[in-house]
Amino acid sequence: MKSLRLSRSMMRSLLVGGAVCLASFWPVAAQVQTSKTVTHGESTHEVKVERGEVIFVSGNSMVVKLANGELEHFTNVPDSTTVLVDGQHLNIHQLKPGMKLEKQTLTTTTPRVITTVETVTGKVFHVSPPNSVILTLENGQNQRFTIPSGQKFVVNGQETDAFGLRKGMVVSAQRVTEVPETVITQQVKRTGKMPPPPPAPKADVPLLVAAAPPAEVPTPAEQAPTKLPKTASELPVIGLLGFLLCGISLTSMLLRKLI
């Protein structure tokens, strides 16, 4: 009889343990109602501009001279990467040395929070506070749930913890998790300009022989005068003649007296 009672006790334990094991392996998503919401924050934008000149192109590789004078070698450029030149999308095989390239990269950073709400309602089948509880769900299946620290349950509109649960109680529990994320997106725009055309060959132009201008012939009004201009006065000549005449007169008077 005693052994029979032990067998029954052991059987009950095995049945309960089997129910717990089955509940723990039952898909949670099939019994728990889950909803997710995404809240976006304010986005920030950053524009980066890179310029360069094509120096060499061979196959899917090219060498570009950057604006700072450095040379950068791009290898394995995919054919799908194109540059907008004069309204046409050109791939690497259509690029030519001397072309001017510009790459604009717009980076948008948006913070967001993903809020997940998990709700479960059922009747308490077994509780092991504060670690776990087995609920009988609406579909009649038993499912085991691990009780998070600080989890509250609503029973008849009242909140209680795991220690307040009793078998047969209809409880509702809800778990809310918030996961912050940062979403980064990039938009790339590539444009280019064709190199200037080579200068046209110069045509044969006859040489011009420079000739000296003809000498200017002075007009009669500009010819040099034949006589020197009169610059001296005649008074000294008249005085000299008067002095000579006086001398002649005196000489004549002396000669008369002597005779």
Per-residue pLDDT of the chain (259 residues; tens, 9 = 90+): 333 333 333 333 333 333 333 333 333 334 678 899 999 999 999 999 999 999 999 999 999 999 999 999 999 999 999 999 999 999 999 999 999 999 999 999 999 999 999 888 889 999 999 899 999 988 888 988 888 888 888 888 888 898 999 999 998 888 888 999 999 999 999 999 988 887 777 666 565 555 666 666 555 555 555 555 555 556 666 666 777 777 777 777 766 766 6
Pair 135, 123: CB distance under 8 Å: yes
3-state secondary structure at position 222: helix
Residues 131-152: b if buried by 16+ CB within 10 A, e if exposed: ebbbbbbeeeebbbbebeeeee
**Same domain, yes or no: 120 and 82:** no
**Confidence at residue 235, expressed as pLDDT on a 0 to 100 scale:** 61
> How far is Cα of residue 152 from the mean position of the Cα atoms in its chain?
49
Residue 72 in domain: yes
Distance (Å, whole) CA 257 – CA 243:
22
Residue 37: partners with Cβ closer than 8 Å, 6 or more residues away? 114, 115, 117
Last residue of a domain, one of 132, 153, 183: 183
Residues 188-223: b if buried by 16+ CB within 10 A, e if exposed: eebebeeeeeeeeeeeeeeeeeeeeeeeeeeeeeee
**Same domain, yes or no: 93 and 126:** no
Distance (Å, whole) CA 112 – CA 41:
6
Residue 81 in domain: yes
**Confidence at residue 222, expressed as pLDDT on a 0 to 100 scale:** 54
**Same domain, yes or no: 103 and 134:** no
Residue 115 pairs with which residues in a beta bridge?
37, 178
Residue 25 in domain: yes
Last residue of a domain, one of 158, 183, 208: 183
Distance (Å, whole) CA 109 – CA 184:
5
Distance (Å, whole) CA 6 – CA 21:
22
Range of the domain at 132: 18-38+113-183
Last residue of a domain, one of 192, 214, 234: 192
Residue 62 in domain: yes
| Cis ω before 130 (30° cut-off from 0) | yes
Which CATH number characterizes residue 66's domain?
A: 2.40.50
Residue 2 in domain: no
Total domains in the chain come to 2
> How far is Cα of residue 252 from the mean position of the Cα atoms in its chain?
128
